[in-house]
Amino acid sequence: MGERALTHEGHSIVINDDPSEVTVSIDGEPLRIFGAAGRYWTPHQAYQMFDSIDDLARAVAAITRKPDR
Partner 1 sequence: MAALRKRINQADMSSDQRDRYVKAVLQMKKTGVYDWYVQTHIDSMWMQTDGTMNMWAHHRPAFLPWHRQFILDFENDLRTADTALTGKQSDLTLPYWDWINYRSKKKFLWWGRIWGDNFMGPNGSGSNREVTSGPFQGGPGWVLSYNSGPGFTPFTPAGPPYLTRQFGQDPNGDSLPTQEQWDAARALTVYDTAPWDQNVGVNPAPSPNPVRFAGINSFRNVFEGWVPYYDTATALPLDINLHNRVHVWVGGALGPMSSPNDPVFFLHHCNVDRLWAQWWSDDPSRPYLPKDGEPNATDPVGDPDPLINLQGHHLHDPMPPWDGRNDPLKGTMPTITPADVLNHLALGYGYDPDDRVALSASATP
The answer to whether residue 29 forms part of the interface with partner 1 (CB under 8 A) is yes
Q: Give the one residue of 48, 53, 54, 56 binding partner 1; rule: CB under 8 A.
A: 48
Shortest reach from residue 66's CB to partner 1, in Å: 5
Shortest reach from residue 55's CB to partner 1, in Å: 9
The answer to whether residue 26 forms part of the interface with partner 1 (CB under 8 A) is yes
Q: Which residues of 9-40 are buried (b: 16+ CB within 10 A; e: fewer)?
A: eebebbbeeeeeebebebeeeebebeeeeeeb
